Amino acid sequence: MPTVQYPSHAVEALLADGTTAAIRAIGPADHAAVLDLHAERMSEDSRRLRFFGTSRRAPQMTADRLCGPQRPEPLALGAWVDGELVGEADCEPAEDRPEAAELALAVADAWQHRGVGTLLIEHLVHAARERGVRRFEAAMLADNLAVRRLFADLGLPVHRRFERGEVRVVVPLEEGAEHYREAVEQRGRTADVASLAALLFPRAVAVVGASRRVGSVGQAVLLKVRGNGFTGDLWAVNPYAQQVAGEPAYQSIATLPGTPDLAVLAVPAEAVPGAAEECGLAGVRALVVLAAGLDADEARQLMHACRRHSMRLVGPNSLGIAQLDPAVRLDAEFGGAAALPGTAGVAVQSGGVGIALLGQLARLGIGVSSFVSLGDKYDVSGNDLLQWWEEDGRTDLALLHLESFGNPRAFSRTARRVTRGMPVLTVDAGRSAAGRRGAASHTAAAATPTVTREALFRQAGITATRSIAELVGTAALLHSQPLPTARGVVAVISNAGGIGILAADACAEAGLDLPVLPASTTAELLELLPEGAGASNPVDTTAAVGPAELACCIDLMTGTRAIDALLVSIVPTALGTGGEHDPLSALLDGPARRRIPVVAVLPDQEAPVRYLTCADGGRLPAYADPAAAARALAHARDRARWLAEPPTAAAVPDTADSAVAQHLAQAFLADHPQGGWLDPKQTVDLLDCYDLPLTTSIWARDEHDVLLAARTLGQLGHEGKSVLKAYWPDQLHKSAAGAVRTGLSGVDEVRAAYREFEAHFGESMAGVVVQPMAAPGLELLAGVVQDQVFGPLVMLGLGGTATDLLDDRTARLAPLTERDLTTMVTGLRSAPLLLGRPGTPQVDLAALLRVLAGLSRMATDLPQLAEADLNPLIARPGGLLCVDARVRLEPRPAFDPTCDDCVARLPPLRSECHEPQRPRRHFHRVLRRSRSRRSLRPRQRRDVHEPTRRRSHPGDGLPHHGDRDHRLPPGRAASGGA
């Protein structure tokens, strides 16, 4: 197995305050920098902690050890900020125990306590694991508190031993992987959010390309920023004007009186790269690019500028952003109306949808906390916004109109976490094939037809609506009313029988439960209501009902435990509209919020949805169409159901050898840089890492071997039979091509089958797979697919020849929880076949759940896994056996703008990445600290659970360096600050 090598070029990563550091292997060329770090940039005390003494030669010896020509080389990584080496971590496997490596760490004094050490060790852990290192060992002086804290906070188990003023630590790298992964993710989220502060909490903004021309985008944005009371400095940049719309204009970014945190580029596409570079040179930390239609070259240059200068980027093709926090009050978008301040976070991909949404929310009276028009999403994505809102301390409702959320691998974890704390609503855009054609970013959504898309959104806790109107209607309910209980029993009450029936129909169609009310409730209602009223469900009060009686009925119904939500539909009648007899006053005179959600349906109102203001000043949503009210209630019920399910941990297979699997995947991709299908042997090796129950197979190249294999395996097979499968690279459906022969018994049948293969496939056949014949059972299919929106999905369905015919499948976001495992099985239409029924015993469900858990783990372990397909998986009461498995790997990431090769592959111009954050308290600390330093550096594309963000460029080698002889005595190791 080839050694996986850490890239010698830089990987960008974020420090805790959002500053970008470049992490790369230290090589011979870095001798001077390493010497400088240890000799000049560390105080005497830091050196004492680092070297356990004050030897003058220690820095030189370290530089020689890390950068000299000697072998064996240590694994040494450096962190660079703005070209300056700020820290170094290395580990050197012990000669006699290669699984143990002695760790050393040094951080420049000026960079201590900023997460440099932690970041370096995260990367080193990953690189060391890949080299087969199983534990780090290190020694430190007992008073080296910074490094002791670093180890304590790392998230890995640490075993300590005190020895004469020294602490000796052993850090096993394989134990507690889940806990470590969470710790790494959390650090990543903190850094990501900090990096967004320049964009979403700027203190100074420049509008570049602010034009004197009335009606131009630049001028419109400038006027909006000024008109809506931005609290920070605002500067206009225009090389040809002294003044723009009354503001003094500056010739260039470089001539501004200060450095803006954020620059809004309102220049034409061709001028974007130059302006971005100028901003970067001036120290701008975030860009909003309004121009659309950048060509591939301009896109590449823009990405390079952002990457080089650590700027976060919104757009291109953005309508702008708005931050309505009173401390900022920035409205830098060119939509028609001013955004209303409030608590809903809004992110849209399309500017047009943004304008519609902002307008509707403002009319309704739901204000916005922050608004971002993401446009072409080169960098900042929906995932970024979700994690920002989760921590900004203001947002309590998230509204998204996105074709995708950002890094699909991060999507499921981010969404599942954020939706616990606030409702996240989205419009499921691109449901239809025609819609997907329109959504340029979508190529392959075939894996997720609408029905499963809904299920997947639900699994992530996201409320997926089918239109903007439905989104706004549902937001109106969730923003003003309590959630119903998960049971979701709805009662309808109306002053007109026919209207009540329509509302009842709408509720039933929305999947709500409208049972007959309990006899006691019915009796009490009839007591209150006029003659001729009906009190089952819907309740018909008749038009003769007065406000007082109606109010009593509403109180009664909202008070009874039998009902979880109430829909009150009122039409105006000549009997009392407008005056004190108006039945609507029954609603308005009461409190807006009751024990259960209450919605009004006023069929004669003009607006599709609006708020009624109640006596207590609270708001109650009123809909024109009962179907809109019913759908909003159904969404609220679904959210309640989702919240009622306790968050369960990811299902972990009994055993999984993730490190070996990662090795195998990387080794394959080293040989196949473009990716491809694994051959039968590689497939078995990989699936074995997850204990997936593959049948025994023997790979044979000639007749003699085939006969031998068949004789051996036939004995294991059902009725002593064996199976032959012809193999050639990249084959798809073997049986359709006549490459599968089952039920072969005896030498003659096997020989005949083999000779037919030879005759038929000739030279193209690379060999034959021989298997024992499996006992008959229920043929299932299980596998992993990658979805552009949702990331890796685990699928289960009916397999074999029935696969396409019956199209009975379920899919769930990976990682699957324990609960997902069972709902996947019960969610199949053919579940009774698995669960057993009279005459058919249950299949081995425990084994099936283990397979699903293994697939989920494989999907989350391997970002390179493009698809895996176990078909069929033959299920019987006594066990489960897969007789055909296929796995395809792809290099990743599909598009990473920080990677030159990927940028060179533009378009498609889509950047995906990122992932979420940490408790609110922390946010404010990070925000304050980073703002005060004006060091809000962006970004690193963090992958969900692979701590070491690395760009995999096959062939990148480790520089050869290091020298055992010059190495400090064992134990002279860890130091510096964290």
> What is the binding site for Mg ion (CB under 5 A)?
871, 884
From residue 777 to residue 816, the character string flagging contacts with ligand ADP as x (rule: CB under 6 A) and all else as - is: --x--------------------x----------------
CB of 862 to ligand ADP, least distance (A): 22
In 158-261, DSSP assigns E strands to 159-163, 166-172, 204-208, 233-237, 243-244, 247-250
DSSP state of 375: T
Residue numbers 728-767 binding ligand ADP by CB under 6 A: 733-735, 740, 742
By beta-carbon proximity to ligand ADP, the closer residue of 605 and 742 is: 742
Q: How many other CB atoms are there within 10 angstroms of residue 922's CB atom?
A: 17
State phi, psi for 235 to the nearest 5 degrees.
Answer: -130, 140
By beta-carbon proximity to ligand ADP, the closer residue of 652 and 833 is: 833
Q: Which does 723 bind (CB under 5 to 8 A by kind): ligand ADP, Mg ion, none?
A: ligand ADP
Binding residues for ligand ADP, how many (CB under 6 A)?
Answer: 17
Residue numbers 690-729 binding ligand ADP by CB under 6 A: 695, 723, 725
Q: What angle do CA 610, 624, 507 make, to 5 degrees?
A: 110
Single-letter amino acid code for the residue at 272: V
Span of 171-179, 257-265, 634-642, 772-780 interacting with ligand ADP by CB under 6 A: 772-780
Token digits for 748? 């003659």
Tell me the C-alpha distance between 305 and 310, whole Å.
8
Tell me the C-alpha distance between 852 and 338, whole Å.
50
By beta-carbon proximity to ligand ADP, the closer residue of 780 and 973 is: 780
DSSP state of 888: E
Span of 105-113, 429-437, 770-778, 952-960 interacting with ligand ADP by CB under 6 A: 770-778
By beta-carbon proximity to ligand ADP, the closer residue of 302 and 740 is: 740
Q: Which does 247 bind (CB under 5 to 8 A by kind): Mg ion, ligand ADP, none?
A: none
Tell which one of 177, 199, 265, 774 touches ligand ADP (CB under 6 A). Answer: 774
By beta-carbon proximity to ligand ADP, the closer residue of 62 and 771 is: 771
Beta partners for 797?
Answer: 781, 809
Q: DSSP for 845-881?
A: HHHHHHHHHHHHHHHHH-TTEEEEEEEEEEEETTEEE
Query: What is the distance, to the nearest Å, from the Cα of residue 579 to the centroid of all Cα atoms in its chain?
Result: 54
Tell me the C-alpha distance between 157 and 143, whole Å.
21
CB of 738 to ligand ADP, least distance (A): 10
By beta-carbon proximity to Mg ion, the closer residue of 185 and 884 is: 884
Span of 324-332, 335-343, 771-779, 950-958 interacting with ligand ADP by CB under 6 A: 771-779
Q: Which does 735 bind (CB under 5 to 8 A by kind): ligand ADP, Mg ion, none?
A: ligand ADP
- Strand pairing category for 262-265 and 320-323: unpaired
Q: DSSP for 653-670?
A: -S---HHHHHHHHHHHHH
CB of 674 to ligand ADP, least distance (A): 23
By beta-carbon proximity to ligand ADP, the closer residue of 186 and 803 is: 803
By beta-carbon proximity to Mg ion, the closer residue of 242 and 735 is: 735
Q: Residue 724 is inside which H or E element, if any?
A: strand 722-727
CB of 726 to ligand ADP, least distance (A): 10
State phi, psi for 85 to the nearest 5 degrees.
Answer: -75, 115
CB of 446 to ligand ADP, least distance (A): 19
Q: What angle do CA 113, 115, 121 make, to 5 degrees?
A: 125
CB of 882 to Mg ion, least distance (A): 9
CB of 388 to ligand ADP, least distance (A): 46
CB of 713 to ligand ADP, least distance (A): 9
Give the chain's length: 978
Q: How many other CB atoms are there within 10 angstroms of residue 726's CB atom?
A: 24
By beta-carbon proximity to Mg ion, the closer residue of 192 and 884 is: 884
Tell which one of 884, 896, 946, 963 touches ligand ADP (CB under 6 A). Answer: 884
CB of 855 to ligand ADP, least distance (A): 17
Q: Which does 883 bind (CB under 5 to 8 A by kind): ligand ADP, Mg ion, none?
A: ligand ADP
By beta-carbon proximity to ligand ADP, the closer residue of 170 and 847 is: 847
- Strand pairing category for 767-772 and 698-700: antiparallel
| CB within 8 Å of 197: residues ≥ 6 apart | 18, 926, 927, 930, 931, 936
**How many H-runs (helices) and E-runs (strands) does the chain carry?**
30, 40
Q: Which does 442 bind (CB under 5 to 8 A by kind): Mg ion, ligand ADP, none?
A: none
By beta-carbon proximity to ligand ADP, the closer residue of 206 and 851 is: 851
CB of 797 to Mg ion, least distance (A): 13
Whether 515 contacts 538, CB under 8 Å: no
CB of 740 to ligand ADP, least distance (A): 4
CB of 763 to ligand ADP, least distance (A): 20
468: burial class by Cβ within 10 Å (0-12, 13-18, 19+)?
Answer: middle
- Strand pairing category for 397-401 and 424-427: parallel
Is it true that the peptide bond before 72 is cis, omega within 30 degrees of 0? yes
By beta-carbon proximity to ligand ADP, the closer residue of 213 and 733 is: 733
By beta-carbon proximity to Mg ion, the closer residue of 783 and 962 is: 783
Tell which one of 335, 484, 546, 872 touches ligand ADP (CB under 6 A). Answer: 872
Using DSSP's 3-state secondary structure scheme, residue 962 falls into coil
State phi, psi for 502 to the nearest 5 degrees.
Answer: -60, -40
Is residue 773 close enough to count as binding ligand ADP by CB under 6 A?
yes
DSSP state of 155: S
CB of 693 to Mg ion, least distance (A): 15
Span of 268-276, 647-655, 769-777, 846-854 interacting with ligand ADP by CB under 6 A: 769-777
Residue 161's nearest CA partner among 144, 130, 138 is 138
CB of 382 to ligand ADP, least distance (A): 37
CB of 877 to ligand ADP, least distance (A): 17
Tell which one of 197, 330, 883, 936 touches ligand ADP (CB under 6 A). Answer: 883
By beta-carbon proximity to ligand ADP, the closer residue of 567 and 774 is: 774
By beta-carbon proximity to ligand ADP, the closer residue of 797 and 863 is: 797
| CB within 8 Å of 437: residues ≥ 6 apart | none
By beta-carbon proximity to Mg ion, the closer residue of 536 and 830 is: 830
By beta-carbon proximity to ligand ADP, the closer residue of 485 and 731 is: 731
Tell me the C-alpha distance between 793 and 787, whole Å.
7
CB of 699 to ligand ADP, least distance (A): 14
Q: How many other CB atoms are there within 10 angstroms of residue 742's CB atom?
A: 17
Residue nearest Mg ion, Cβ-based:
884
Whether 433 contacts 409, CB under 8 Å: no
CB of 331 to Mg ion, least distance (A): 57
Is it true that the peptide bond before 908 is cis, omega within 30 degrees of 0? yes
Span of 162-170, 706-714, 768-776, 903-911 interacting with ligand ADP by CB under 6 A: 768-776
Tell me the C-alpha distance between 196 and 945, whole Å.
21
Is residue 963 close enough to count as binding ligand ADP by CB under 6 A?
no
Tell me the C-alpha distance between 677 and 732, whole Å.
10
Give the helix, strand, coil percentages of the chain, each rounded to 5: 35, 20, 40
Beta partners for 493?
Answer: 539, 568
Tell which one of 370, 381, 666, 771 touches ligand ADP (CB under 6 A). Answer: 771
- Which spans of this chain sit near ligand ADP (rule: CB under 6 A)? 695, 723, 725, 733-735, 740, 742, 771, 773-774, 779, 800, 871-872, 883-884
